[in-house]
Amino acid sequence: MVSNILIEIVTAISRFLLNPVVYIAIVVAIFLGYRRVKQERKFFNRRIIWGWTELIGQWKRGWPYALVISLISLGVGLTVPKVYLLILTAISFLGLLLFFINVLSPIYTMAIATLALWAMYQYNWSFSWWKISLEGIDLLEGAIVTITILTGLSVIVEGMLIRRTAKQVITPRIENTKRGMQAIVYRTRNVWVLPIFFIIPGNSIPSAIPYWPQFTLGDSHFALVLFPVVIGFSKLLRKELPVVQLPKIGRSVLLLGQLILIGGLASYFEPLIGFITLALGVLIRIIIAVYYAWQDKTESYAVAPSTKGAVIAAVLPDSPAEKMGLLAGECIRKVNGHSITTEVELYEALQLNAAHCRLEVLDRNNEIRLTQHVIYSNDHYRIGLLLAEPREL
């Protein structure tokens, strides 16, 4: 029995490496990094974040959550129809190929896959291509329970990942306002991959193991598959800083995931609840996206040039500015006692004292604070600040 399970784990990993979604997700992450660096150099004449950040984050940030979901999936015995995973693969592949990143929320992709599976069963549709054959199944026999539960868990992870995004350095860019001025906006685009172990009907592992799996879909033998669940998120932020707005979006999505999970558990007693839960989940996720997009349709910008001083658009990682605790959205009023409003004035004031940098800063709460840091001659033109000021694009 143990040897069979080990063989199944190796086989599951091999199936994962053969999944085309894995490779197109990698290509998309590389393209996102390339495109971001290109825009950074266009607006600020330098790269702000390492170009491979999106690719590394795609796997680094998702696998701990994937491990938790895998343990739940295997421990409880959440059996997923193989045809469902094939449809989900096709939807994820198409979304990545067309660059529809926001459509890659799990509630969208998993609900669409569920709808497709239901329609195939209701209308007796079937598809065959090469060695792949797709036929509908009756979701009311147990599949809707596992699908809804796994959707809820995936949406919870989506909310957590969105919240974590706020702690990263997000690329600023310059935007011309309707009044002919220039302001700073922030763009974040992420594609995460969660390698999750699922149980599918198969012929390798018997159901003789006590209490496993609980949701058998009428089968007595099962197999393991390591499946790449893709989560996409894209947002342009104007009115609020990323560190303020992204946690709000993350909390909203996290709460939605919890509600979907509750609906999935309830569908064990009444399968119809699962369908209703997924439909309402899609509607609420759309409302969340529309609400925060509508909020940013405004002439009010969180970061814009100001007569009060030099407004910080971004602080580069591991820079003297970061060590001084400077944050995006704060306004530097004085450098070594000299009032400034532009980047040129900032560095001219820095050169007046070759070994010391003392700043008077107006923070995000409009309160004045002082900060200082020892600098070196080579640091004068690279202390790690990007300022919001009019530029020629």
* 168 phi/psi in degrees, rounded to 5: -95, 165
Secondary structure tally for the chain: helices H, strands E: 11, 11
The C-alpha atoms of residue 387 and residue 341 are separated, in whole angstroms, by: 10
**Could you say which DSSP state residue 383 is in?**
S
* 119 phi/psi in degrees, rounded to 5: -65, -40
Helix orientation angle between 106-122 and 82-97, rounded to the nearest 10 degrees:
130
183: CB partners within 8 A, 6+ apart: 174, 175, 177, 238, 301, 303, 304, 305, 388
Neighbours of 60 (CB within 10 A): 11
Structure tokens at 164: 């974590």
The C-alpha atoms of residue 10 and residue 14 are separated, in whole angstroms, by: 6
Structure tokens at 250: 């993350």
Query: What's the 3-state SS for 235-255?
Result: EEECCCCHHHHHHHHHHHHHH
Structure tokens at 124: 């007796």
Query: pLDDT tens digits for the chain (393 residues)?
Result: 556 667 777 888 888 888 999 999 999 999 999 999 999 888 888 888 888 999 999 999 999 999 999 999 888 888 888 889 999 999 999 999 999 999 999 999 999 999 999 999 888 887 777 667 777 787 877 789 999 999 999 999 999 999 998 877 688 988 888 777 888 999 999 999 999 998 887 665 555 454 455 555 555 567 888 999 999 999 999 989 999 999 999 999 999 999 999 999 999 999 999 999 999 999 999 999 999 999 888 778 888 888 889 999 998 888 888 888 899 999 999 988 889 888 888 888 887 765 678 889 998 888 898 888 776 555 544 688 888 876 655
* b/e code 258-271 from CB counts within 10 Å (16+ = b): eebbebbbbbbeeb
Task: Please answer whether residues 202 and 259 qualify as being in contact, where contact means their C-beta atoms are separated by less than 8 angstroms.
Answer: no
Extract the runs of DSSP E, i.e. beta strands, from the chain: 126-129, 132-135, 171-176, 182-206, 221-237, 310-315, 331-335, 338-339, 357-362, 368-373, 385-388
Structure tokens at 36: 């971001």
Domains (ranges, CATH) in the chain? 1-295 (no CATH), 310-387 (2.30.42.10)
Helix, strand, coil tally for the chain in percent (to 5): 50, 25, 30
Extract the runs of DSSP E, i.e. beta strands, from 282-323: 310-315
Tokens 């007046």 found at:
352
pTM score above 0.95: no
Residue 327 zone, left/alpha/beta (φ > 0; ψ -120 to 50; rest): beta
Q: HSE (CB half, 13 Å, CA atoms) of 280?
A: 17
Structure tokens at 271: 């399968």
pLDDT value of residue 211: 47
Structure tokens at 390: 């009019």
